[in-house]
Chain A
Amino acid sequence: MMKDMRAHGLKRCAAIGTLAVASLLMSGASAPQPQTFSFALTNIYVAAYEDEKACRSLSLSSADLFLETLPPAERAKYAAPEKVQDLHKLMAERLGFKMVPTGKNSGSNGSMASLTESEKQALRQKYNIPKGKGIPAFLGTRFAYDSCTNPEDFSFMERGNEVYNGPVAYGIDLDGQNGKEDYVSPDQTPGVDNQLIRAVGCTYSTRDYGTPKVSDNVITSMSSPTLVQVSGVDDPRNDDDVTVRLYASASPLELSGAGKPLAWASLDVDKDRRFMAQAKGKIRDGELITEPFDLQVRLREQIIDSYRELRQARIQAKIKPGEAIEGGIYGYHTVASIEDGYHQSTQVGANLTRMSCPALIKAVRHYADAYPDPKTGRNSAISSALRFKGVPAFLIMPEQLAHGGQP
Chain B
Amino acid sequence: MSRLFDSLRLRVLTGVIALESVGAILLAASAGHADAPTEQSVQQDQQAPKFRRLTEAQYRSTIADIFGSDIKVSGRFEPDMRIGGLLAAGTSAVSLTPAGAEQYEQIARGIAEQVVDAKHRDKLVGCAPQPSDPQGAACAESFFKRVGLRIYRRPLTDGEVRLAVGQTLAASATLKDFHSGLAIMLTTMLSDLPFLFQTDREIADPHAPGGRTIDAWSRASKLSYFLWNTTPDEQLLQAAADGSLMTPAGLAAQVDRLMASPRFETGVRSFFDDFLQLEGMMSLSKDGIIYPAFRSSAAPAAREQTLRTITALLVAEDGDYRDLFTTRRVAMNRQLSPLYRMPHGPRDWSMVTLPEDDPRVGILTQISFLALHSHEGRSSPTLRGKAVREVLMCEHVPAPPANVNFTIVQDTSNPAFRTTRERLKAHLDDEECASCHKLTDPMGLTLDSFDGAGQFRATENGVPIDTTGMLDQIAFNDSAGLGKALHDNPKVTQCLAQSAWHYAAGRASLPSEEQVTNRLHEDFARAGYRIRSLFRRIAVDPQFFAVRSPAASRVASKPSAGKEG
Q: Which A residues contact B (CB, under 8 angstroms)? A: 1-10, 13, 19, 21-22, 24-25, 27, 254-260, 262-266, 268, 394-396, 400-401, 404-407
Q: Contact between B350 and A4 (Cβ–Cβ < 8 Å)?
A: yes
Which of B288, B341, B342, B357 makes the CB contact (< 8 A) with A256? B288
Stretch in B151-159, B330-338, B552-560 with 4+ CB within 8 Å of A = B330-338
Q: Do the beta carbons of B293 and A262 come within 8 Å of each other?
A: yes
B314-361 at interface with A (beta carbon < 8 Å): 316, 329, 331-332, 334, 337-338, 341-347, 349-355, 357-358
Whether B291 is near chain A, meaning CB under 8 Å from some CB there, is: yes
Question: Interface on B for A, CB 8 Å cutoff?
Answer: 286, 288-289, 291-296, 298, 308, 312, 316, 329, 331-332, 334, 337-338, 341-347, 349-355, 357-358
Q: Is the CB of A3 within 8 A of B346?
A: yes
Contact pick for B331, options A2, A265, A407, CB 8 Å? A2
Given contacts A7-B353, A24-B341, A263-B338, 12 further A-B pairs with CB under 8 A are A7-B342, A19-B343, A256-B288, A257-B294, A258-B292, A265-B334, A265-B337, A266-B337, A266-B344, A396-B343, A404-B346, A405-B346
Q: Give 11 CB contacts A-B under 8 Å.
A: A2-B331, A2-B350, A3-B346, A4-B329, A7-B352, A8-B343, A258-B288, A262-B293, A263-B338, A405-B345, A405-B346
Interface centre among B291, B296, B331, B351 (most CB of A within 10 A): B351
Asked whether, in the complex, the Cβ of A394 is within 8 Å of the Cβ of B351, the reply is no
What chain B residues lie within 8 Å of A395 (beta carbons)?
Answer: 343
| CB-CB nearest in chain B for A255 | B295
Set of chain B residues within 8 Å of A268, measured between Cβ atoms? 347
Cβ-defined partner of A25 (8 Å) among B288, B291, B295, B341? B341
Contacts of B344 in A (CB 8 A): 266, 394, 396, 405
A394 to B341 Cα, complex, angstroms: 9
Leading 9 A-B pairs by shortest Cβ distance: A405-B345, A394-B343, A256-B292, A405-B346, A257-B288, A264-B338, A7-B352, A258-B288, A4-B351
Cβ–Cβ contact B293 & A257, under 8 A: yes
Interface of chain A, helix or strand or loop or mixed?
A: loop
Residues of A within 8 A of B347 (CB): 268, 401, 405
Q: With the chains together, A259 CA to B63 CA distance in Å?
A: 38
Between A and B, how many residue pairs show CB distances below 8 Å?
A: 106
Whether A266 lies near B334 (C-beta < 8 A) is yes
Return B316 CB to nearest CB of chain A, in Å.
Answer: 7
Complex Cα–Cα for A7 and B286 (A)? 27
Asked if A8 and B345 make an inter-chain contact with CB atoms under 8 angstroms apart, the answer reads yes
Contact call B337/A264, Cβ cutoff below 8 A? yes
| Residue contact A256 to B295, C-beta cutoff 8 Å | yes
A265 near B349 (CB under 8 angstroms)?
no
A400 vs B312: C-alpha distance when bound (angstroms): 24
Evaluate whether A2 and B338 lie within 8 angstroms (CB atoms) in the complex, with A13-B343, A262-B292, A405-B345 already known: no
Contact of A3 among B296, B298, B350 (CB under 8 A): B350
The answer on a CB contact under 8 Å between B295 and A394 is no
Contact status B342-A8, CB under 8 Å: yes
Expressed in whole angstroms, the minimum distance between the Cβ of A258 and any Cβ of chain B is: 4
Closest to A259 in B: B288
Please measure, in the bound complex, the distance between the C-alpha atom of A8 and the C-alpha atom of B316, giving whole angstroms: 23
Name the A residues within 8 Å of B354 (CB-CB).
7
Chain B residues positioned under 8 Å from A401 (CB to CB): 345, 347
Taking CB atoms, residues of chain B closer than 8 Å to A19 are 343, 345
A6 nearest CB across to chain B (Å) = 5
Contact present for B288 and A266 (CB under 8 Å): no
Cβ contact within 8 Å between A394 and B288: no
Q: Which residues of B contact A257 (CB under 8 A)?
A: 286, 288, 291-296, 298
Question: CB distance B351 to A3 under 8 Å?
Answer: yes
Could you tell me the dominant secondary structure of chain B's interface residues?
loop
CB pair A404 B345 closer than 8 Å = yes
Check if B308 sits within 8 Å of A266, measured CB to CB. Answer: no
Chain B residues near A13 (CB-CB < 8 A): 343
CA distance A24 to B351 in the complex (A): 24
**Which A residue's beta carbon lies closest to that of B328?**
A7
Residues of A within 8 A of B286 (CB): 257
- Shortest Cβ distance from residue A22 to the other chain B in the assembled complex, whole angstroms: 8
Query: Which of B292, B308, B316, B352 is within 8 Å of A5, CB to CB?
Result: B352
Question: Of all chain B residues, which has the CB nearest A28?
Answer: B357
Measured between beta carbons, the chain A residues less than 8 angstroms from B331 are 2
CB distance from B367 to the nearest CB of A (A): 13
In the complex, chain B residues whose CB is within 8 Å of the CB of A3: 346, 350-351
- How far is A1 from B311 in the complex, measured between Cα atoms in Å? 11
Minimal Cβ-Cβ distance residue in A for B341: A264
Closest Cβ of chain A to B388, distance in Å, is 25
Least CB distance from B341 to A in Å reads 5
How near does chain A come to B428, taking the closest CB pair, in angstroms?
33
User: Cβ of A7: which chain B residues have Cβ within 8 Å of it?
Assistant: 332, 342, 352-355, 358
Given contact pairs A5-B350, A266-B344, A258 touches B289 in the complex (Cβ within 8 A): yes
A9 CB to nearest B CB, Å = 5
Q: Bound state CA distance, A201 and B61, in angstroms?
A: 62
Smallest CB-CB separation from B331: which chain A residue?
A2
- Taking a contact as CB atoms under 8 Å apart, the answer to whether B345 and A396 are in contact is yes
Q: Could you tell me the distance in whole angstroms from the C-beta of A163 to the nearest C-beta in chain B?
A: 41
Contact in complex: B350, A405 (CB < 8 Å): yes
Asked if A1 and B288 make an inter-chain contact with CB atoms under 8 angstroms apart, the answer reads no
Contact A394 B337 (CB under 8 A): yes
Q: Are A266 and B316 in contact (CB under 8 A)?
A: no
- CA gap between A268 and B345 in the complex, in Å: 8
Distance to closest chain A CB from B459 (angstroms)? 12
Given A257-B295, A396-B345 in contact, is the A6-B352 Cβ separation under 8 Å?
yes
Q: Roughly how many angstroms separate A407 CA and B331 CA in the complex, as a whole number? A: 17
| Known pairs A2-B308, A9-B355; A394 contacts B342 (CB<8 A) | yes
Minimum CB–CB distance for A180 against chain B, Å? 47
A396–B337 Cα gap in the complex (Å)? 13
- Residue of A whose beta carbon sits closest to that of B294: A257
Which residue on B lies nearest to A22, using beta carbons? B341
Say yes or no: B345 contacts A264, CB within 8 Å. no
Contacts of B345 in A (CB 8 A): 5, 8, 19, 266, 396, 400-401, 404-407
Bound together, the chains give a CA A2 to CA B351 distance in angstroms of 6
- Measured between C-beta atoms, what is the minimum distance from B318 to chain A in Å? 15
Q: How far is the CA of A366 from the CA of B308 in the complex (A)?
A: 62
CB distance from B156 to the nearest CB of A (A): 40
From A260, A266, A400, A406, name the one whose CB has the most chain B CB atoms within 10 angstroms: A266
Least CB distance from B122 to A in Å reads 33
Interchain CA distance A7-B343 in the complex, whole Å: 8
In the docked arrangement, what's the CA distance between A405 and B296, Å? Answer: 25
| Min CB–CB distance B497 → chain A (angstroms) | 27
A166 to B332, CA, bound (A): 53
**Chain A nearest Cβ from B345, distance in angstroms:** 3
Specify which chain A residues have a CB less than 8 angstroms from the CB of B293 in the assembled complex.
256-257, 262-264
A260 partner residues in chain B, CB cutoff 8 A:
292
Q: List residues of chain A with CB within 8 A of the CB of B298.
A: 257
Whose C-beta in chain A lies nearest to the C-beta of B349?
A2
A150 to chain B, nearest CB (A): 41
- Closest chain B residue to A400 by CB distance? B345
Q: Shortest distance in angstroms between A74's beta carbon and chain B's nearest beta carbon?
A: 51
Q: List A contacts of B346 (CB < 8 A).
A: 3, 5, 404-405
Chain A contacts for B308, CB-based, 8 A: 2
Complex Cα distance A382/B288, Å? 42
Instruction: Provide the bound-state CA to CA distance between A19 and B358, in Å.
Output: 18
Q: Closest residue of chain A to B287, judged by CB?
A: A257
CA distance A44 to B253 in the complex (A): 66
User: Do A262 and B295 touch across chains, with their CB atoms under 8 A apart?
Assistant: yes
What residues of A have a CB within 8 angstroms of the CB of B337 in the complex?
264-266, 394
Q: How far is the CB of B263 from chain A (nearest CB, A)?
A: 15
Complex contact A6–B341 (CB within 8 A) = no
**Which residues of chain A come closer than 8 Å to B357, judged between CB atoms?**
27
Using CB atoms, name the residue of chain A closest to B343. A394
* Chain A hits for B343, CB < 8 A: 8, 13, 19, 21, 266, 394-396
Chain A CB count within 10 A is highest, among B288, B294, B344, for: B344
- Compute how far the CA of A401 lies from the CA of B329 in the bound complex, rounded to whole angstroms: 21
The CA of A103 and the CA of B401, in the complex, are separated in Å by 67
How far is the CB of A24 from the nearest CB of chain B, in Å? 8
